[in-house]
Amino acid sequence: MCNIDIKQVLEDKKKYLDLLLLADEQENMIDRYLERGEMFVLESEDVKAVCVVTDEGDGEFEIKNIAVEPGSQRLGYGRRMLEHILFLYKDRGTAMYVGTGDSPLTIPFYESAGFKKSYQIDNFFTEHYDAPIFESGRQLEHMIVLKKKLT
């Protein structure tokens, strides 16, 4: 890994739409949180990862999108971004949430960073997305929401 720089994106967030769509496959769903969220990019020569975090009130934040360029996946960039976000928000609130599909690829990633399953939103992906979403060969239906205490 070369030098890594993580910086906040304050304008022209849609410039990273292709990357955002890797983690949230429908643009109108991204539009629901992109402008109200704080966006960060991780660069190592070029952009490797992106993350959007929203303030949900009462000291609670939510990672709405975290994605790594396909050619850079499984090289630690997602982990570095997640660690940076958790460090950045640790004194700003009490909890960080993330909602994801019930997938063997994503749940262990967050659990290894200290997130615990909090609750489930039944039929989230089948009711809110125009087309079925598949991960690891199976269709995502329910959103699993994980929580990590920040303080």
Q: Per-10-residue mean pLDDT for the chain, 151 residues long?
A: 88 97 94 97 96 97 97 95 97 96 89 96 93 89 96 81
Q: Give me the phi and psi of 108, to 5 degrees please.
A: -65, -30
Pairing of strands 5-9, 46-57: unpaired
Place of tokens 């994605």: 67
List all residues 6 or more positions away from 9 whose beta carbon is below 8 Å from its beta carbon: 16, 39, 40, 41
Which pLDDT does position 31 carry in this prediction? 97
Which pLDDT does position 136 carry in this prediction? 81
Q: How far apart are CA 10 and CA 24, in angstroms?
A: 20
**Residue 122: which CATH number?**
3.40.630.30
Total structural domains within the chain: 1
Domain ranges, residue 85 = 5-149
> pTM of the predicted model, to two decimals?
0.93
Q: How many residues are listed for the chain in this entry? A: 151
Q: How far apart are CA 27 and CA 38, in angstroms?
A: 17
Which pLDDT does position 1 carry in this prediction? 52
